[in-house]
Amino acid sequence: MHSGEKQRGLVFNIQRYSIHDGPGIRATVFLKGCPLKCFWCQNPESQMEKPEIFLFADRCSRCGQCVGICPTGASTLLEDHSTIDRNKCIGCAKCVEICPNEARALVGRYMTVDEVMEEVIRDRKFYDNSGGGVTLSGGEPAAQPEFALSILRNCKEEGLHTVLDTCGCTTWTTIKDLLKYTDLVLYDIKCLEPKKHCIATGKSNNLILKNAREIAKRKAMRVRVPLIPGFNDSSEQIITIAKFVATELGSVHIDLLPYNNWGEGKYERLGRRSIHLEKQTEEYLENLNKVLDAGK
């Protein structure tokens, strides 16, 4: 273990036996915090770099224990359930611990690099047997650059294959440091139009595309396109992305990721307004993949 790596970072999940975030069987470490605010985000609990509380209103019995224990007065009772003032909540989780109905859950916990490594190293035999390893995802791993760098470095010291799953919206200096201990980059490209990208995510894609070009020169990468209904899942959008990858990045594989609505309930649990989008049909997805193959 590298000296000085008792440092802490904010993790909201460590998914074991993951098979969709790189080769083989992997552990995917999800870090909290992201510079983008995509309107379709399927992990809204990943956006803020602070602990948050999921509230399952249907489980609440209005016992009031959360109100009594909250140090900031963030918890109050409504007519049929309790609620949380998100501006007052500090994520201390005292209400989570006292709730008798499991109506609240903490999202995001501070962990040291040692603690993360202790969890991921347990499944080493599965990584070795399957050609897997550890994937750093989010949120956006580069939002916690020192913590992310320490995890990747420790993984390489343990001889583990590493994957960085990134949206690329960060400085080149940060990415270049992370690449030193990264074997494969999974890179999100959502659309190529700067204005459209800015409206949908809160940020221009100029830096993202610039970083993509630099990564492609230095490291193995796969481009991942999250297919968002009505936003970028048209044939025209896919052809444009395919041409950019072919001309600017070279022989880089593109994965089209179908939309799913698994994350919609999370918005309500966080006290946020959610959107509902219809998933693409299998036939529609097959046609888009044909378009992609033809456009390469």
The domain segmentation of the chain, as residue ranges, is 8-48+109-295, 52-107
Grouping H, G, I as helix, E, B as strand and the rest as coil, residue 275 is coil
Task: Pick the range with the lowest mean pLDDT from 77-91, 116-130, 282-296.
Answer: 282-296
Which residue type sits at 192? L
Token pair recorded at residue 24: 């083989």
Q: Could you tell me how far CA 249 lies from the centroid of its own chain?
A: 23
Backbone angles phi, psi at 88, to 5 degrees: -95, -25
Omega within 30 of 0 (cis) for the link into 271: no
- Report pTM: 0.94
**Of 262, 272, 263, which Cα lies nearest the Cα of 53?**
272
**pLDDT(3) > 70:** no
Distance CA 280, CA 258 (A): 7
CB-based contact 214:178 (threshold 8 Å): no
262-285: average pLDDT: 93
> How does pLDDT run across 75-115, given as a tens digit for each residue?
999 999 999 999 999 999 999 999 999 999 999 999 999 99
Predicted local distance difference test score (pLDDT) of residue 10: 98
Predicted local distance difference test score (pLDDT) of residue 237: 96
Q: What CATH number should be reported for the domain whose range is 52-107? A: 3.30.70.20
DSSP-derived pairing of the beta strands 8-18 and 26-31:
antiparallel
Q: pLDDT over 90 for what percent of the chain?
A: 93
164-176: average pLDDT: 98
CA 16, 113, 137, 149 torsion: positive or negative?
negative
**Of 19, 17, 23, 22, which Cα lies nearest the Cα of 119?**
17
CATH superfamily of domain region 8-48+109-295: Aldolase class I (3.20.20.70)
- Longest Cα separation, the chain: 62
23-48: average pLDDT: 96
**pLDDT(208) > 70:** yes
Distance CA 89, CA 102 (A): 18
Q: How far is CA 190 from CA 39, 187, 228, 256, 293, in A?
A: 12, 10, 9, 10, 18
Predicted local distance difference test score (pLDDT) of residue 161: 98
- Three-state secondary structure readout of 85-148: CCCCCCCCCHHHHHCCCCCEEEECEEEEHHHHHHHHHHHHHHHHHHCCEEEEECCCHHHCHHHH
**Eight-class DSSP state of 24:** S
Question: Would you tell me how many other CB atoms lie within 10 Å of the CB of residue 158?
Answer: 16
Grouping H, G, I as helix, E, B as strand and the rest as coil, residue 234 is coil
Q: What mean pLDDT is reported for the chain?
A: 95
Task: Pick the range with the lowest mean pLDDT from 101-105, 206-210, 229-233, 259-263.
Answer: 259-263
Predicted local distance difference test score (pLDDT) of residue 2: 53
**pLDDT(200) > 50:** yes
Predicted local distance difference test score (pLDDT) of residue 5: 67
